[in-house]
Structure 1
Amino acid sequence: MVQPAEKAYYRFVVLFFNCLLTFGSYFCFDMPSVLQDQFQGNLTCPNATVINGTVDCVAGLGMTPQQYNLLYAIYAWTNAIVVILAGFLIDKLGNRFGVFLFSFLCVLGSSLFALGSHFKGTPYLLPLMLTGRLLFGSGNGSLTIVQNRITAFWFKGKELALAFGLTLAFSRLGSVLNFFLTEKFEDKFGMQWTLWGGALLCVLGFSSAIIVSAMDKVGMKQLGLEGSMQEASRKVRIQDVKLLSLRYWLLVLTIMFFYNGIFPFIADASKFIQDKYGNYSQKEAAYVAGAVYDSSLVLSASVGILIDYVGLRGIFALTCAVLTLPVFGLLAFTFVPPLVSTIWLGITYSFAAASMWPSIPLVVPQATLGTAMGLATSIQMVGIGLSNLVVGQILGTQSSEAKIPLWRWKRMMIFMLANTVSCIVTSVLLNVVDYKQV
């Protein structure tokens, strides 16, 4: 008799709830980007005036640009430290342990972040919000590792890039809806209720974790694999890191440099669009910045199917890096509408994510996949964290500069270009090593 877990529909139901794990957390991750004006706005606006239909003073939390970028940097730094240990623990203790712990940390972190917003004008604001981002970062990056590990198990040799593409699409759906809905929600209900709404979406992820855990456990038993997986997990040692191949390390560096040019850019993109192009409202700027995720959402599944069929993951990674160069060139040196660049970046991002991340299970043993994913995520987050700090320094530290000078924005885009060039170098080396090992 064929068990349900052996049928195709079972693994796609697992995939659906697996995708929902990170939907809410990715919605929360970029909420500060949409609300950047409010985060950096004045504590009070006693003499606000309306000029051409817009208010010259935005009431907010009173953060400096450096403090604002620190919200992203601490997320990245926390990820960098926690995901190494998390990956090893997931390999050792299993998916079900990881999925509960890390989805709970997302709920706790996003709730503390929302709570911090109630303390504006007090010394408690920044410590509370940073602690919230720290806990949220501990959960979200590690949750992605469990998500990828579950996907790699259920789709190994079967539609792997498609499955990875769909998990990415759901995460991006959270990001896209954030860019479309958060500003409207804040306008109607205020910042505090908006941030609590994000925390509630993380509760959806925790509910999905319960379902995924149950289906994963039942499925492994029906397939008769639970015992062998536990046996392999017991053999995992931290020293196994030494066995990871050169291909793996070059792949990780390629991922890091590519993402260095995406997430730090998106964190400040709304503000950049308003400052440089002048005639964009906060809502319009958020929509344009969110086009990176819109493109990714639309393309992820079809790109996954294409890469499953064609292969050539290393060539795709190199091509994506080369085609990303014009994005930051246009933003730095021209006044071409920014929507062109954000859609373009979303397209290259879709191909890069669908070719790079699914390559990791192909170059490491299944038993050490969590550790390998953890290390990859850690190095990625170290890069993003450093990039966030560099961007914060480039853009200046004074909140009194309501409009950041264009020469500072140009320097930021040149920094993004430098990361993309580094990505091209590592992806060339990756293809050379890959070619020699075939």
Structure 2
Amino acid sequence: LAAYYRFVVLFFNCLLTFGSYFCFDIPSVLQDQFQGNLTCPNATVINGTVDCVEGLGMTPQQYNLLYAIYAWTNAVVVILAGFLIDKLGNRFGVFLFSFLCVLGSSLFALGSHFKGSPYLLPLMLTGRLLFGSGNGSLTIVQKRITTFWFKGKELALAFGLTVAFSRLGSVLNFFLTQKFEEKYGMQWTLWGGALLCVLGFTSAVIVSTLDKIGVRQLGLDGAIQEESRKVRIQDVKLLSVRYWLLVLTIMFFYNGIFPFIADASKFIQDKYSYYSQEEAAYIVGAVYDSLVVLSAIVGILIDYVGLRGVFALASAVFTLPVFGLLAFTFVPPLVSTIWLGVTYSFAAASMWPSIPLVIPQATLGTATGLATSVQMFGVGISNLIVGQILGTKSSETKIPLWRWQRMMIFMLANTISCIVTSVLLNVVDHRQDGILNKTTRSQGRHKKAPRTRAQRNLK
């Protein structure tokens, strides 16, 4: 099989989640519209800004519930999804979960047409629930396909590129959504996000076909089916303490990322009053800008150096100043969001690719599903806590600074917890075989690769 084939697979594999990640963060850019008043009959312009924003009339608590239900759905569904993918294969997963993304984003967009009615929130929450069922599970299939085609060869680079493509969708959302909404309105903006999810479904068809052809040419179709038949739910007991410490490290790190991004645009406008909604969205998007620019470079570096456990710890340590600056200083927020994007790049390229190193290969889908479940459960709880910290009265057009400081302190607490679990992870890894902190060359000598034949054929 030609060497470039796996990179063609990687390209369409990356596109699986491009549209869904664009769609996921639309509420973050349009937070003012989601929480805006149903009507603005007496709106006035003060210093170039309107004192009333017309929108869906959600409270901050209801708005954060849109993110929380997405996270909780992930937490429940991805456990079963990971096991099903191990049992039934990647092709089953990409079709089902990309379809759920299309269905959920469409229902979410449909809900916005019921502004002012009791159907709005249930419809939009149901849409986010279905969307969360699809998108969280789709990332598991994406990681599983990436691991199969790149295990032992540029794995961190491949993981970094999939994250970069996904977050490119988020970047374009932060750059384009505000302008699109001003021109066409919220309803058409949300339908545009649903249309991008259709792109993911199209990519699912292509990557499934490429995966099927490639596996058949490698002569591994029968072996993979046999391996899948051996997967049992009891295999969860084979997951080690090192795996669970890695999972907790991932959870606490993302607890400080996703809830922050969900409310960061509003935070920047409230604390730094000289930024418009559009400028605030650009500043928040810098987290993903940095990730997109750095992911490939960081992936190559980690593939070359190894030391994944050390990089995971360093990512958490260097994230601490970000929330401190935002909470207690008036340093321009762009400094903090770029900084956060850099540490996020190193965390994503070191933490997730570590999972295949510490688990049996046959349980990769189940293990990734559990990791995603724990991560999203933590993020969902964090979204709810942030909603409580920021208050529940929609009449508060400007949230007091002391509430924002409490939110940032909560982000700091999660980052400190991440440091603790990553230190324990490195200690346990050192006492065992030290696989996480070996260099790439010594990993190659140490690891038993269950798909040696595939790797030979992929040369």
Same fold flag (TM > 0.5): yes
Deviations 1:189-239 (A, max 9, x none): 000000000000000000000000001011111001110111010010001
Deviation for aligned residue 1:98: 0.3
Task: Measure, in 2, the Cα distance between the counterparts of 1:208 and 1:44.
Answer: 40
Q: Name which of 62, 65, 70 aligns with 2:65.
A: 70
Q: Could you tell me which of 265, 279, 290 is aligned with 1:270?
A: 265
Distance in 2 (CA, whole Å) between partners of 1:22 and 1:411 is 33
Give the Cα separation in 1 of the matches to 2:188 and 2:204: 25
From 290, 296, 318, the counterpart of 2:291:
296
* Structure 2 residue identity aligned to 1:153: F
Residue 359 (structure 1) aligned to one of 318, 336, 354: 354
Match of 1:375 in 2: 370
The two structures have a TM-score, normalised by structure 1, of 0.99
Map of 1:161 onto structure 2: 156
Q: How far apart are the structure 2 equivalents of 1:293 and 1:108?
A: 26
Aligned counterparts of 1:363 and 1:152: Cα–Cα separation in 2: 13
1:332 match? 327
Aligned-partner residue type, residue 164 of structure 2? A
Query: Match of 2:446?
Result: none
Cross-structure match for 1:307: 302
Which of 409, 412, 417 does residue 417 from structure 1 map onto?
A: 412
Amino acid at match of 2:214: G
What's the counterpart of residue 133 of structure 1? 128
- Provide the rounded CA distance (Å) in 1 between the counterparts of 2:159 and 2:233: 26
Quick one: which of 381, 394, 406 aligns to 1:386? 381
Q: Kindly indicate whether residue 87 of structure 2 is the aligned counterpart of residue 92 of structure 1.
A: yes
Q: Alignment RMSD, CA only?
A: 0.4
Find the residue that maps to 2:319 and give its secondary structure: helix
The question of 1:53 aligning with 2:24 is answered no
One-letter amino acid of the counterpart of residue 105, structure 2:
S
Letter in 2 for 1:166: L
Distance of 1:282 and 1:53 partners within structure 2:
12
The answer to whether the aligner puts 1:187 opposite 2:178 as a matched pair is no
Query: In the alignment, what sits opposite 1:3?
Result: none
Cα drift, residue 306 of structure 1: 0.3
Q: Match for 1:172 among 162, 167, 176?
A: 167
What TM-score does the superposition give when structure 2 sets the normalisation length?
A: 0.94
The code of the aligned residue for 1:299 comes to L
> 1:341, CA displacement in angstroms?
0.3
Alpha-carbon separation, structure 2, partners of 1:244 and 1:226: 26
Equivalence map 1:183-332=2 (5 Å): 183-332=178-327
Matched AA of 2:391: G
- Measured after TM superposition, the shift of residue 70 of structure 1 is 0.2
Aligned match of 2:345 in 322, 341, 350? 350
Aligned-partner SS, 1:8: coil
Q: Match of 1:100, as an amino acid? A: F
Give the superposition deviation at 1:270: 0.2
Shift of 1:52: 1.1
- 1:142-161 equivalences in 2 (<5 Å): 142-161=137-156
Distance 2:360 2:102 in 1: 32
2:445 equivalent in structure 1? none
What displacement does 1:364 show?
Answer: 1.1
Instruction: Determine whether 1:28 maps to 2:23.
Output: yes
For residue 147 of structure 1, report the CA deviation from its aligned partner.
0.2
Compute the displacement of 1:53 (Å): 1.1
Q: Deviations over 1:301-338 (max 9, x none)?
A: 01000000000000000011000000000001101000
For 2:369, give the aligned amino acid: G
**1:361 Cα shift?**
0.8
**d(CA) in 2 for partners of 1:229, 1:362:** 19
User: Could you tell me how far 1:366 is from its partner in structure 2?
Assistant: 1.7
**What's the secondary structure of 1:104's corresponding residue?**
helix
Give per-residue Cα distances to partners, 1:95-139, cap 9 Å, x unaligned: 000000000000000000000000000000000000000000000
Structure 1 residue 246 displacement after superposition: 1.0
For residues 156 and 382 of structure 1, what CA distance do their matches in structure 2 show?
Answer: 28
Q: Secondary structure at the match of 1:26?
A: helix
Q: Percent identity?
A: 88
* Count of residues in correspondence between the two structures: 433
- 1:267-309 superposed Cα distances (whole Å, 9 cap, x missing partner): 0000000001110100000000111000001000010000000
Shift of 1:365: 1.7
Q: Where does residue 120 of structure 1 map in the other structure?
A: 115
Give 1:133's aligned amino acid. R
Q: 1:367 deviation in Å?
A: 1.1
User: By how many angstroms is 1:8 displaced?
Assistant: 1.6
> Deviation above 4 Å: which 4+ runs of structure 1?
none
Runs (5+) with no aligned partner, structure 1: 1-5
